Structure 1
Amino acid sequence: MEEFIVDYKNELLATVITIITLFVLKFILSKTIRKVGSASDLNKARTRLIIKYVSFGLSVIGIVIIIFIWGVNFRELGIIFSSIFAVIGVAIFAQWSILSNVTSGIILYFSFPFKIGDRIRIMDKEIEYEGNYIIEDIRAFNIHLRNDNSELLTYPNNLMLQKGILMVNVTTNENLDESELL
């Protein structure tokens, strides 16, 4: 065991530094995402979901860095990565709508044009009910909307970015005078 530590001292030190750096980055990014979520008055479940996505991304980056630290042969690594990317490419092509909805959910989180409780109207000819909807929940793949007849509509996140959305309840600030509006 002592031989291993002596022989691979630099690699072990670099691995420890990488892991500590990734944990610090995860902490900082999680704290930042929570601040954005609370400042924008967003649902805590959405905030936790985005934090999970960021944690997964940092884990992948960490694994790649550790692979390079331990000196994997680049030819072998190229074969492994090309095989992995081929499988991922087929999976992405097969599941493009799911990935599109997850990506749209992340975009909706950070651009936060809609909040739970907002009243909206969707400009989509395929929806039979043309009235207003109240946003009940925003999830990773879809948004739950309730119409005036108490019917629940589950609407995909990617369509929220593709279709025209009319905000029915407009927040007004009566404390502003006319000079601030110009």
Structure 2
Amino acid sequence: MDFFNHYLKEEISTGILLMLVILMRIIVSKLVRKYAKTSQIIERRTNLVIKYIHILITILALITLILIWGVQAKDIFITLSSIATVIGVAMFAQWSILSNISSGIILFFSFPFKIGDIILIHDKDFLEEGEIEDIGAFHVTLRSKEGEVIIYPNNLFFQKGISIMKKPSINDNEFTD
């Protein structure tokens, strides 16, 4: 019983933090869904962005919780910098994965094109034209006029020129020249 009385301030702060985290997750989810609805973004992409934001909120809440329970900020920063260094070295070869995820989030909010648009990718000597079938966390799936499926990494959309050739109309099911 002495434990509960001794750490009453930390317990109350932890309860308030948990309520704030739940409230923030609900508010952020509603705001992102509202934005997605007005921008006509598909549900799967919306859920993916919400998941990333929830992970960020959870990480920030864990750091705050550690501070509430008396761990020194200096110790947290030393630990986090050590972990970041190890992860950075271990994942150096995997930078493209993080780049594609970041690009996918930027594509979600800037949304220059959507599923059903016909785009032309200016990739040096090779022009890729296709209809967008899916926009995922890591890549965009295109289908060429010949029916070929083209998978294009998200981060390359920020490195290559893109022309939106045709926005689909309600009656369009096929490409037209």
TM-score, length-scaled by structure 1: 0.87
Separation (CA, whole Å) in 2 of partners of 1:98 and 1:131: 22
Match of 1:161 in 2: 158
How many residue pairs are counted as aligned between the two chains?
169
* Unmatched segments (≥5 aa) in structure 2: 170-177
Separation (CA, whole Å) in 1 of partners of 2:93 and 2:156: 19
SS state of the match for residue 168, structure 1? Answer: strand
Indicate if the aligned counterparts of 2:116 and 2:168 stay in contact, CA closer than 8 A.
no
Aligned CA RMSD, in angstroms, stands at: 1.7
Query: Percent identical across equivalent pairs?
Result: 45
Match of 1:26 in 2: 25
SS state of the match for residue 143, structure 2? Answer: strand
Separation (CA, whole Å) in 2 of partners of 1:87 and 1:19: 30
Match of 2:172 in 1: none
SS state of the match for residue 154, structure 1? Answer: strand
1:1-182 alignment runs, 5 A limit: 2-125=1-124, 127=126, 130=127, 132-170=129-167
**Are residues 48 and 126 of structure 1, via their aligned partners in 2, closer, same or farther at CA, if it must alter by over 3 Å?**
farther
Q: How many Å apart are 1:131 and its aligned residue?
A: 5.4
- Letter of the structure 2 residue corresponding to residue 11 of structure 1: E
Q: How many Å apart are 1:126 and its aligned residue?
A: 5.7
TM-score, length-scaled by structure 2: 0.89
